[in-house]
Amino acid sequence: MTETFRLTLAQMNPTVGAIDANALKARAAWAAGREAGAGMVALPEMFITGYQTRDLVMKPAFVRHAITALERLAADCAEGPALGIGGPWWDGRRLYNAFWVMDGGRIVARVLKHNLPNDTVFDEVRQFSAGDVSGPYRIGPLRIGSPVCEDAWHEDVAETLAETGAEILLVPNGSPYYRNKYDRRVSLMVARVIETKLPLVYLNMVGAQDDQIFDGGSFALNPGGEIAAQLPVFDEMIAHVDFARGPQGWRALRAEIEPLPDEWEQDYRAMVEALRDYTAKSGIAKVLLGLSGGIDSALVAAIAADALGPANVRCVMLPSEYTSQDSLDDAAAVARKLGCRLDTIPIEGARAAVGAALAPLFAGQKPGVAEENIQSRLRGLLLMALSNKFGEMLLSTGNKSEMAVGYATIYGDMAGGYNPLKDLYKTRVFDLCRWRNAQHRAWMKGPEGTVVPERVIDKPPSAELRADQKDEDSLPPYPVLDAILERLVEGDQSVAEVVAAGFDRATVKKVEALLYGAEWKRFQSAPGVRLTKKAFWLDRRYPIVNRWRDEG
């Protein structure tokens, strides 16, 4: 009779700091595995604390709470399958990122993370000590090796586990999303199975934490790189992977392969789920935003409606004398199509009062940016007043192009608690609006059909802070601006390299100056979900005071 082993994967969504609630989730997953006849139930990296904890994990009382919860889990889950779960370990001298393995009421292994990531969004060298590479542990008939997340991105740990008798590799992860990262993960894990000739299970968490989102997409590979199982992206799921021992050793039996959505759907889903989790985990039920009639606020409204439901989204139009009738009509059309409440608060009276107060000091000065920004800041003040009064979190609506070059008003349209578009360039805003108009998914709480009218997508962008204003009065056309920014930011290219790619040097230098000069604004901007490998502040950390410029 063929020997078999069932591994239950809990692709779940923990909450940072909700240690006892996370333990309840783990216990429920373990019970589901026991019901299904599993030999082991596995949860992702640092699941008991949530991830990433940042410096919270360095607080001794927090670590004691987590370890107590893990030890209690071991006792509570004694009668049934083994349980593997990520959490911290303090050995009396050092703190480690560990994968705890429990069986029969005992802790049978603690696998310590060896390769600590210290780049992009990770600061694990600051928080943890690197553990020694440990060998495999035995669960029933299987010897399992568990490289913890980053350990599987390098050859050393997996090679050691194979050499010391591991028969399969189980990789618990807290791997945050960026665009097309799934392909990178699969490529690296295929390299590990080819090197070790062992089947591999890649288990990732889902859910958002602050400005990062974890996209799941867990999978199983057999030697040679064949995918044997594929879980969906972004969805919580408990799934079972069965292994059978044959002449070549253990192999994963083929299970359901979930199709991977394209990058447009994944980006949109990331923004929706990130906002949904940010509000839910913060205890916030409702949001509001300034709906200008422009494309950015329309997309934010759609994201908010899909995340929280239209009834929990308040849109506010705050017209001035420069607000066109088209903008009033377009804002009303967006709110109507989404089914969201729309309030209107004219700002002319408030603007006149501020103008009168400043008149003695502004006398003899030519009107300019200061007067324009008063309008934006009045809108921010009024929106924050509504937020305070009704307990609705204000969403800011600036895209990555605007955040990059500072085309936003600090304490004005930058006001808010969260920005869904913070890592989305303007040209992608247009494309995602068209994508959302043509698509609807079960995870969207907003309505089907066109939610951003074509007129909103097609009209020239304008802040409408002065007569006949267009964004292109101050900035290069967005296709040019975004192409330069992607080279300067994502590509870290020099001015000379960008010019060599065909861009006008004066334009590139202008964009570079704006990019460096806006660092202070970005430092004070609302958090927003990371979609790229070069999200501001998370991945690209530049000084605020910076006199260097690229003169090449």
pLDDT at 240: 98
Read off the DSSP letter of residue 461. P
pLDDT digits (tens, 9 = 90+) for 42-60: 999 999 999 999 999 999 9
Q: Give the pLDDT band of residue 465 (cuts 50, 70, 90).
A: confident
pLDDT at 18: 98
For residues 239-257, give the mean pLDDT: 95
- What's the CA gap between 46 and 87, in Å, rounded? 4
Q: Does residue 38 have a pLDDT over 70?
A: yes
Q: Does residue 411 have a pLDDT over 70?
A: yes
For residues 227-242, give the mean pLDDT: 97
For residues 223-250, give the mean pLDDT: 96
| Mean pLDDT, the chain, whole residue set | 96
pLDDT at 235: 98
Is 159 a residue of the active site? no
Is 45 a residue of the active site? yes
Query: Which domains occur in the chain, in start order?
Result: 4-255 (3.60.110.10), 264-523 (3.40.50.620)
For residues 97-119, give the mean pLDDT: 97
The region of weakest confidence among 108-122, 339-353, 391-405, 456-470 is 456-470
pLDDT at 461: 86
Q: Does residue 1 have a pLDDT over 70?
A: no
Look at residue 479 and give its three-state secondary structure: helix
Per the residue annotation, which of 25, 113, 337, 400 is the catalytic one?
113
Query: Residues 371, 347: contact at Cβ < 8 Å?
Result: no
Q: Does residue 194 have a pLDDT over 90?
A: yes
Q: Identify the CA nearest to 482 among candidates 517, 543, 431, 551.
A: 431
State how beta strands 137-139 and 237-246 pair: unpaired
Read off the DSSP letter of residue 98. E
Q: Identify the CA nearest to 411 among candidates 373, 356, 385, 461.
A: 373
CB atoms within 10 A of CB 32: 17
- Where do runs of H (alpha helix) occur along 18-166? 19-35, 60-76, 124-127, 155-163
Per the residue annotation, which of 25, 45, 77, 422 is the catalytic one?
45
- What's the CA gap between 139 and 338, in Å, rounded? 52
Per the residue annotation, which of 25, 77, 124, 149 is the catalytic one?
149
Contacts of 321 (CB under 8 A, 6+ apart): 348
pLDDT at 542: 94
pLDDT at 236: 98
Distances in Å between the Cα of 375 and the Cα atoms of 298, 370, 382, 409 are 20, 9, 11, 10
Task: State percent of the chain over pLDDT 70.
Answer: 100
pLDDT digits (tens, 9 = 90+) for 483-498: 999 999 999 999 999 9
- What's the CA gap between 198 and 207, in Å, rounded? 29
Encoded tokens for 334: 């967006």
Q: Does residue 269 have a pLDDT over 70?
A: yes
Encoded tokens for 194: 């080819």
- What's the CA gap between 1 and 274, in Å, rounded? 47
> Dihedral of the CA atoms 354, 357, 360, 361 (nearest 10)?
-60
pLDDT at 321: 92
Q: Identify the CA nearest to 377 among candidates 491, 463, 253.
A: 463
Q: Give the pLDDT band of residue 285 (cuts 50, 70, 90).
A: very high
pLDDT at 470: 83
CA atoms within 13 A on the CB side of 119: 4
DSSP string across 341-367: EEEE---HHHHHHHHHHHHHHHTTPPP
- What's the CA gap between 196 and 199, in Å, rounded? 9
- What's the CA gap between 388 and 137, in Å, rounded? 54
pLDDT at 370: 94
pLDDT at 462: 82
For residues 517-534, give the mean pLDDT: 96
- What's the CA gap between 147 and 135, in Å, rounded? 10
For residues 197-224, give the mean pLDDT: 97
- What's the CA gap between 523 and 513, in Å, rounded? 17
pLDDT at 390: 98
Q: Does residue 474 have a pLDDT over 90?
A: no
Q: Does residue 63 have a pLDDT over 80?
A: yes
Q: Does residue 14 have a pLDDT over 90?
A: yes
Look at residue 200 and give its three-state secondary structure: strand
Q: Give the pLDDT band of residue 195 (cuts 50, 70, 90).
A: very high
Run of H or E including 288:
strand 287-290
Q: Give the pLDDT band of residue 464 (cuts 50, 70, 90).
A: confident
What is the C-alpha end-to-end distance of the chain, expressed in Å? 71
